[in-house]
């Protein structure tokens, strides 16, 4: 009979038990690795390998076929001498800044207004309505807005009806207006998914916090600034990063609506990359543009991360 003093300590394990535990852990690690392996293989084949190949091809005069001549950094020299590249980066920064405002600020305002509706039926109705634009295919939306922004389109007719005829013009055919026209696309810029994300974050705020704020006689503005905006900052940060990444590399709207015109005034780097690769067969030069665009996106994201850390430390 084992006495109480001779009983095994709960922290001590027999050698055989330890060996069995290690064996089970190894089996778990192997199983986890095997489960993750298909995803890792997919990322390696379809993301990592093309990325490395793009960097490699940027040092060659490569036409996608039999021409594959090493030219060093000549593609990068040509890129910085290209008169279209500099203005295209300015255009994409303007369009991306507008996209960030649309994706974060407009979505939050819509979510805040829906959140404070007193009727649950109205809340449900507006949640459905903000998702309706997502049903329309993106390319169809671009084609519709191309008609809306034409000289005799809906935008100019609305401006004329409001007595703002002096603002009418060819929004996609005037080099001085085309970027503004591209920003107008999608008005009122309701992103349903972003709005629902903000709504979910606002819905997580306990009612007790609102009750305490009202007892302290806090107004709507103070509640918004001190309670609601901090509650959605995590979502806002993620959506801002996504908007920056999407905006800086996007070109589909410009390709469909203006083709980079008029007179190359609406070019963006992604469109120049596409034209050089699939229009002119300059795959090496297009790869160099892609590498520079990647560096710019990475730098912007790192700067944004640093600024967010500084802001958190300041508060």
Residue-wise pLDDT for 172-221, tens only, equals 999 999 999 999 998 889 888 999 999 999 989 888 888 888 888 888 88
Q: What is the pLDDT of residue 313?
A: 62
- Give dist(CA 30, CA 127) in Å, integer: 44
Burial of 197 (0-12, 13-18, 19+ CB in 10 A): buried
Cα–Cα distances in angstroms (integers) from residue 109 to residues 105, 134, 179, 214, in the given order? 6, 18, 24, 21
φ and ψ at residue 62, rounded to 5 degrees: -120, 130
CB-CB contact of 296 with 86 (8 Å) = no
pLDDT surpassing 80 at residue 312: no
Residue-wise pLDDT for 74-107, tens only, equals 999 999 999 999 999 999 999 999 999 999 999 9
Percent of the chain with pLDDT over 90: 48
Question: Residue 226 corresponds to which tokens in the numbers above?
Answer: 């001190």
Q: What DSSP element (H or E) covers 69?
A: strand 68-70
Residue-wise pLDDT for 192-203, tens only, equals 899 999 999 998
């Amino acid at each position: 009979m084992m006495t109480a003093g001779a009983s095994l300590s709960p922290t001590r394990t027999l050698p055989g038990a330890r060996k069995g535990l290690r064996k089970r852990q190894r089996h778990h690690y192997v199983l986890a690795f095997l489960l993750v392996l298909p995803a890792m293989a997919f990322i390696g084949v379809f993301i990592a390998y093309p990325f490395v190949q793009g960097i490699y091809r940027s040092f060659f005069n490569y036409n996608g076929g039999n021409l594959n001549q090493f030219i060093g950094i000549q593609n990068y020299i040509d890129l910085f001498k290209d008169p279209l590249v500099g203005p295209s980066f300015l255009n994409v920064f303007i369009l991306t800044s507008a996209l960030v405002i649309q994706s974060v600020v407009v979505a939050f305002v819509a979510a805040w207004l829906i959140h404070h509706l007193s009727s649950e039926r109205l809340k449900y109705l507006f949640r459905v309505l903000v998702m309706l634009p997502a049903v329309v295919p993106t390319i169809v939306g671009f084609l519709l807005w191309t008609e809306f922004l034409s000289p005799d389109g809906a935008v100019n007719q609305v401006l004329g009806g409001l007595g703002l005829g002096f603002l009418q013009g060819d929004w996609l055919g005037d080099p001085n207006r085309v970027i503004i026209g591209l920003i107008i696309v999608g008005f009122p810029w309701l992103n349903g998914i972003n709005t629902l994300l903000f709504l979910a974050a606002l819905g997580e705020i306990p009612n007790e916090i609102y009750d305490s704020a009202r007892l302290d006689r806090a107004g709507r503005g103070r509640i918004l600034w001190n309670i609601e905006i901090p509650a959605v900052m995590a979502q806002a940060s993620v959506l801002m990063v996504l908007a920056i990444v999407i905006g800086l590399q996007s070109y589909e709207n410009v390709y469909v609506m203006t083709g980079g015109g008029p007179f190359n005034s609406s070019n963006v780097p992604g469109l120049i990359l596409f034209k050089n690769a699939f229009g002119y067969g300059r795959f090496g030069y297009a790869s160099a543009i892609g590498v520079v665009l990647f560096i710019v996106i990475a730098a912007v994201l790192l700067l944004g991360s640093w600024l967010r850390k500084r802001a958190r430390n300041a508060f």
